[in-house]
Structure 1
Amino acid sequence: MPIFKSENRAVFGSPIVPQPPTRLAFLVGPRLLASLLAALVVALIIGALGFEVFRLVSPPRLLVRSPAADETVQSFSIQVSGQTEREAILRLNGERIYAKDDGSFEETVNLHRGVNVIKIAAKKPHSEERVVYRRVLWPEEAVR
């Protein structure tokens, strides 16, 4: 047996002794990859939830195509039209109006002589109201 041990050392060197794992080996191993992947998944879920909450509580977009700001007209009525989000609740001068399925709206407003202020407001169920004001002038000397 002594000859075997000496030959074994000569051929294979010193016997293999397991080394205790180092801190660096622990940090770079599969546990780190699994932890990073789990953290990434959690961050993506939190980000997606945050985006949805932001979308729910932010005011709806509201684009008023007509009338233009500070417009002067020669008739007693004007067409108010624009675009908003589908789920938005629309009000024109305080009265509820309804948008089409694509979010577009169109309504006729009767004017009085002089300066008319038209208030268009859109609000989602859990959001602030977005308001656009348009001033329209129907001059005193205009023909009815």
Structure 2
Amino acid sequence: MTSSFSQKELSPPRRVCLRLKEEREKRKISLDELAVKTKIIKKYLLALEECRFDDLPIAEVYQKNYLRCYVEALGTDPVPFLDQYLLEEKTIEKTPRYSFKKFSGQYWQWVPTMLRYGSIAILLLTVVFYLGLQIKKIVEVPRLLIYYPPDGLVVVKPTVIIQGETNPEVEVLINGQKIMTNEQGVFKEEVNLSSGVNTIVILAQKKHGKTTSETRYVVYKEVDN
């Protein structure tokens, strides 16, 4: 005689949170009514029904107490619900998870440190930028523009006006003689000429020795009266 056995596929048990909601709806009790009975705020009751245990106070004793009060307010034995809750939580703990609440808390703990290091980094960048500008000013040769006279100018007067511009705080020398410049670095100086070709050397010199020079040749032709 042979006997046949049929295998029946077992459906996984419903999570404890779903059972809580089913029990409450079966008794036609609203969340507001349950909040009054249990003295637990509504958002925690809703978290229990949606298995959002991370949104409850972190200590397990509080979570178990909320669950017990919830079930007892429905007039049901809380022990099976508590046992299932503990079993589910132990199973979940074996699976690595990272709570957003934990991440958020750690993030805010690091904010003061990040702000401090950020401020230090900005300060250092400002100092480096300032030093870079100063070094550039030192190693860069001064600008020198000569507006007048043009090279090779021929004049019939024994003097010529030298006009030009350089960087502020730069010394200007014409044929070795220091002349005055204004705050913008503009200068204008009259120079005596000798008969024939005159070589006029205009030199712009920084305090640290960097120089730029321009040379103009001016011919003075004496006119007989």
Is the pair's TM-score, using the shorter chain for normalization, greater than 0.5? Answer: yes
1:84 corresponds to: 166
Change (3 A) 1:37 1:17: farther
CA distance in 2, matches of 1:16, 1:127: 74
| 1:15 corresponds to which of 63, 68, 93 | 93
Q: Which segments of 5 or more consecutive residues in structure 2 lack a partner in the other structure?
A: 1-77
TM-score (structure 1 length as normaliser): 0.71
RMSD across aligned C-alpha pairs, in angstroms?
A: 3.5
1:103 corresponds to: 185
CA distance in 2, matches of 1:71, 1:2: 112
1:71 corresponds to: 153
2:133 corresponds to: 51
1:126 corresponds to: 208
One-letter code aligned to 1:108? E
1:5 corresponds to: 83
CA distance in 2, matches of 1:86, 1:7: 81
CA deviation digits over 1:51-99, x for unaligned, max 9?
1221134222221111112222222211111112231111110111111
1:143 corresponds to: 223
CA distance in 2, matches of 1:127, 1:16: 74
Note if 1:113 corresponds to 2:192: no
Is the 8 Å Cα contact of residues 9 and 15 (structure 1) preserved in structure 2? no
Change (3 A) 1:42 1:68: same
Higher helix residue share = 2
One-letter code aligned to 1:6? Q
Max Rg structure: 2
Give the number of the structure with larger relative contact order, counting CA–CA contacts within 8 Å between residues 6 or more apart.
1
Q: Which segments of 5 or more consecutive residues in structure 1 lack a partner in the other structure?
A: none
One-letter code aligned to 1:83? E
CA distance in 1, matches of 2:223, 2:118: 74
Percent identity reads 25
One-letter code aligned to 1:80? I
What is the deviation of 1:138? 2.2
Higher strand residue share = 1
